[in-house]
Each structure stands twice: as C-alpha cells, then as structure tokens.
Chains A and B, each alone.
Chain A
Amino acid sequence: MHDILSVLSLNLLMSTIRLTTPILLAALAAALCNKAGVLNLAIEGEMLLGSFVAIVVTYCLNKYTPLGVVNPTLSTYLGVVVSILFGGVLGVLMAWLHTKWGVDLVIFSIAFNMLASEITVFLMRAVFHQNGTWTDSSIVQLPTLAGGYNIIVYASWICVIFCMILYRATRFGRHLKAVGEAPEAAASVGISVRNVQYIALIAGGALSTLGGSFLSVGHLTLFTRDMAAGRGWLGNAAALFGFNNPGGTFLASLFFGFADALALRLQNVTKIPPYMIQVMPYVLTLVILGFVSWRAQKNAQKYQL
C-alpha cells in the first residue's frame, strides 16, 4: 500500500504534464488534419525531424554565427522557431503533393517516416560522428518560466484554447468542418477545399515539429535516434480518442501522458511492469474506434429509408 501511495506525488503530476506536452501537440496536429479530411500519418516523422532541426539549429547558432555571439538561451528559442517554420514547410510540401498531384498521403507518410528515422541518424553519423546520441555542451535547455514549465508547455495549452475558439466560433472552423465531412458539398458552396487542407497541413506540421523540439531542447538537451519514439502515433491515437475535439484531445493526451509518467514512476518505485500501463492507450483507442464506428453504423441504419 505504501508503495502505491508513494507513486502518487507532485512529481508524478509534473512529469505527467511534461510527458503530455509532445503528445498533445501531435494530437492537436492530427485532430486538425482529421477535421480537414486528410489523414496525416507523417506526424511521427515530422516530430522526429523537428527535434533534430531544433537542436542542430541551436548548435549552429552557438557555433557559427555571423552576427557575433548569440546568447545561448536566445539561440535555443531561435532553434525552436526555425523548427516550427520547418514544420510549416513540410506541411506546404505535403499539401502541394496532395492537392496538386493527388499523391496518396498514406504511402507518402510511410516513406516519409522511414526517411526521417534513417536520415537523422545518417546525418548524425556523417556530420557529428555519433551513432546513438548526440549533444554539445554549448546547447542550453529552454528556460523554465513562472509556474515551473517552459514556453512550449504553455504554448500547447494556448493552442488547445485557440483551437476551441477556432473550431467553434470562426468562419474557418465552419469551413474546416464542411471540408472534412463533405468536400464536394463544401466546394459547391464556394469553400476552397484546397486552401483549407493547405492550412491544416501547414499548421499540423508546425505543431508536430514544435512537439519534436520540446523533446530535444525543451525536455532534454540531446538528440537520440528515433527520439519521437511513437509519440506521433500516440498523438494520432489521442486525436481519435478525443473525437478530434480540442477538449477531448487534451484530456486524451493528458491521460496518455499520465499513463507514460505512471509507467516510468512504477518502474522506479515498484516492481510492477510498466508495459501493462503503456499498452493501455492503444487498446483503449482500438475499443473507442470500434465503438464510434459501431454507433455511426447504427445511426446510419436508423436514418435509412
């Protein structure tokens, strides 16, 4: 009993919030793309590239700046900003391929994730001559602000609120819904499906790479191979688990983050295997997916003539 009580502590809450942040950002990205009717499975790869770009840019700004010495903290912030922009560019690329050329984003994403996973290690080896983990003493972690978390944590919460307002109370939110649910109908009333999907994929990419940069320069100050470690997929799961709503997505991500934190904590404090808890998000998502589809099927039958 004592063991179980000692597991629940303030520490657990803190690590829950820290572990939730990347999942939440990925989940918001996934939910946004789902709402726009594009299944974005590249989030895992975008996250990984995001964490790589953030730490490499930070390093480069520390080392080779033409503008004299940059404050190391500032260069970390700039690293995050560049990473976000990079995510946006990835989003533009995906949207262009999808809307202009009709490229199948699922196959593209599978290849993209594979490429992200391999090329980051390739570059780590070729440029930094490291194979597992790379870091440099010049890299400074994102500073914690008032309240004990860094800016990305707060940004993720703001994004949740922003998405709530965006979906509920704006014209774009209504367009998003229309495009996701009935693209032909949306197009027939003059909504540009193309633009909506562009915006969703760009914002999705930026959110994913922001989540990635949290891993490499926010939570730690290093890059390891396959750093995203399935958090992108967890984001995809959390979005579905939360019915693509910002609130639901937030709660689902929080739950997944809690499961992660609890698993870590249990590993340290007790002998209970962490895997039982880590597997929960995936099992529950499968159940929820089954349930949602079952309900949709029943409703469809009910309204059939």
Chain B
Amino acid sequence: MKKPKGTYILHVLIPLIAIVLGVAVSFVLIALTGISPIATFRELWKGAFGMTGKVWPLWITLGQSTPLILTGLSAMCAFRVGVFCIAQESQYVFGAIVAAWLGVALSLPSWILIPLVLLCSMAAGALAAEIPALLKVKLGVNEIISSIMVNNISTLVLEYLVAFPMRADAGQKAQSAVLPQKLWLFQFIKGSRWGVSFVIAVLLAVGLYFLLWKTSFGYEVRMVGQSPRFSQYGGVSAGGVTLGMMAISGALAGLAGSMEVLGNYHRIMTGFSSGLGFDGLSVAMLGLSHPLGVFIVAILLAGIRQGAQLGLQINLQVPRELGGVLIALIILFVALENIYKPHVEAWVKRLEGGKTKAAE
C-alpha cells in the first residue's frame, strides 16, 4: 500500500518550517545585540559553505559533518527500533578511547592496524549501546535515564584516562599521546579534515538504507519500532531485533569516535566530544530518521557550527555561540511541531485538493 503523497510533503515540511522559525528567532536575537542580522547570516554562510581561500570553508564543513553523519545514523538506528537512546555521546567517547589506546599500544603494519582499531572501536561502541538496550529489553528500564547515566560515566572515564593512565606529557593539558603518523587517515585537502572517513560515512548511510528498507531484518526492525507487541505476534523476536539494531547503532557512534581520533585529532583529551552525541540526536530528529535526511542535516548543522566558528566573532563581534543557539532553536521548533502541524496539514490538504481538481 502506498502512502498518499501529501504525507511525504508534510514530513519534509515540518523540519523546513522548524529551520525557518529557528532562523527567524535568531534574526531577532542578533538584531537585539545591535548587529545587522543579514550581514551576520551572509558571514555565516561564507564561513560554512564558502568556496574561497586556500582551504575552502566548504571542505572543512564536510570534514566536520563526518562524525555528525555517523552519530546521526546511530541515533536513527535506535529511533527506528523504537529505543529513544540518547547515549551516542558515550558510544562515541568509548570508541575514541579504544582507538587512542590501541593505536599507541599495538605496533602492527598500518594496513592491519587501522581496520583492527576501527573494528575494536565499533565493538566498544556496540557494548556501550547494549547497556541501555539490555536494561530496557530485559528489565524495562527507561532508556533515556540509563542513557544519561552512561553518558556521564563515559565523560568521567575519559577524564580519568587522559588525566592519569593515558596522559602523555606532564604539561597543563590532560591529553593522550599522539598516534603514529602511519595511522592518520587520508585527508583529501590538507588541513580540511575532509577525508576518507567522510566516504566511509556516506557508504554506511547508503548501506543502512538498504538494510532498513530492502532486507527482511530491516523490515523486522521497523515493525518492532512501530509496534513491538504486534511484531511479537508476527513471530519476530522483538528483544533480539532491538539488541541487534542497538549494537549497530553503538558501532556507528563508536566508529565516529574512532575516525575522529585517527583522521582528525590523532589523540584524545578532556572535553573530546563536547556535545557531539546530542548533535547526532538533533541530526536524526531533524533528518526524519532517514539516511538521506541525516546526510543533508549533518552537513547543514556542521555548516552552522563551522560558519559561526570562523568569521562571525572576528569580523562582526557576533558571539560564536550563535551557531549552537540556532541549532537548539531549530530542534526546539521540531519539538513544538504539534502546535503548527495541524495548520500545515490543512494547508497541504488544500493544496492536494486543488491539484486533483485541476487534474479533473
């Protein structure tokens, strides 16, 4: 059975409206600080998707979007199986820890070591994801609350590791040793952070699309996500499917952490993740839990963060937190969709009605 076209339009309209409203509110906010909002957004755009200079801002944005695509896909996997897991942060951190540890501890040829490190990080992320998943499936513990606990635990574990056992130098900064250069992932343009990991992320997005919509496992996942009890009657082991999908979800976030270590920072330090998990969550929500949506939104959000980081503060004295404020506002308006959804629905219906009449 095919859904009527209107529902698709409606699905896409809601995030678009949220973005417009978010931009509108931040417009007002910037105007209140006495700076021209138009100039601000022009600068933001230039800093995010500009194609000038030695290293184009666009390349940097694409590089920054890599972990967001992966944590977004990770959140998407959890949402699709009906688990509102917000522990991407912890999976990301554990993946990064394993990468920074194994990368220094093992001395193997790089063609074995890199895949080995990536796989171990994925396993670490998957294990971290199984904590809230097992607690939910076996005991019925609210996954949101357990996710928060796991997130906090991972932050403290990271801080402990970089301050004591993995600390590289006795200097001011608590950080681990730099990985040997042979492990650094290839970057397309030097200094852009845009490299091989982006390609892997895109391939995984495509792979997940096929997994979710073209395989029987994907069908089971979506069925469990929509109605676990119904799927149970249909002969699907809801618990098993949930645990399996959560392992995939964790592995994706773990991979994100690992590739950020190998391809970008080459070490871990305190504050390594800085809210990346929550950004992944935002990406999945705004991207309608669809791989294509996740891909587009990840680039958009990375662009907002990057654009606010680069020129805004220096050229216009607009605080660089504008990027974060804008993202938060957009998600806020996604959360408030119930308020404007009926109007949009009516509008779409009227549009559809008009079209069919015209066709007659």
Contact = CB atoms under 8 A, between A and B. Distances in A.
Interface in B311-354: 318-319, 321-322, 324-325, 327-329, 331-332, 334-336, 338-339
A188 B150 CA distance: 39
A278 B142 CA distance: 23
A279 B156 contact: yes
Contacts of B278: 110, 114
Contacts of B236: none
Nearest to A104: B335
A276 B157 CA distance: 8
Contacts of B156: 275, 278-279, 282
Interface stretch (A74-82, A120-128, A170-178): A120-128
Contacts of A233: 148, 152
Contacts of A286: 131, 135, 146, 149-150, 153
A95 to B, nearest CB: 14
A7 interface: no
B86 A110 contact: yes
Contacts of B325: 115, 118-119, 122
Contact of B153 (A103, A283, A290): A283
B336 A108 contact: yes
Interface in B109-150: 131, 135, 139-142, 144-146, 148-150
A282 B149 contact: yes
SS of B interface (majority): helix
Interface stretch (B44-52, B159-167, B222-230): B159-167
SS of A interface (majority): helix
Given A114-B324, A230-B152, A290 B139 contact: yes
A221 interface: no
A297 B139 contact: yes
Nearest to B325: A118
Given A106-B84, A106-B144, A114 B328 contact: yes
A167 interface: no
Interface residues of A, number: 44
Contact of A103 (B139, B164, B328, B336): B336
B160 A276 contact: yes
A282 B152 CA distance: 7
B285 A275 contact: no
Interface string B274-297: 010010011001000000000000
A123 B33 CA distance: 9
A102 interface: yes
A122 B322 contact: yes
A65 interface: no
B193 to A, nearest CB: 23
A282 B153 contact: yes
A97 B86 CA distance: 22
A119 B321 contact: yes
Given A126-B319, A286-B150, A118 B328 contact: yes
A39 B84 CA distance: 14
A41 B160 CA distance: 26
B338 A289 contact: no
B336 A273 contact: no
Contacts of B275: 114, 117
A294 interface: yes
A108 B321 CA distance: 20
Given A278-B156, A285-B149, A108 B335 contact: yes
A122 B324 CA distance: 9
A237 interface: yes
A227 interface: no
Contacts of A283: 149, 153
Contact of B321 (A41, A101, A118, A279): A118
Contact of B319 (A108, A122, A276, A293): A122
Contacts of A293: 135, 139-141
Given A273-B160, A275-B160, A236 B336 contact: no
A173 to B, nearest CB: 24
A120 to B, nearest CB: 9
Interface of B: 29, 33, 84, 86, 131, 135, 139-142, 144-146, 148-150, 152-153, 156-157, 159-160, 163-164, 275, 278, 281-282, 285, 318-319, 321-322, 324-325, 327-329, 331-332, 334-336, 338-339
15 contacts: A108-B336, A110-B282, A111-B335, A114-B275, A115-B329, A122-B319, A122-B324, A125-B321, A237-B145, A275-B157, A278-B156, A282-B156, A289-B142, A290-B139, A290-B141
Interface of A: 39, 41, 97, 101-104, 106-108, 110-112, 114-115, 117-119, 121-122, 125-127, 131, 230, 233, 236-237, 240, 273, 275-276, 278-279, 282-283, 285-286, 289-290, 293-294, 296-297
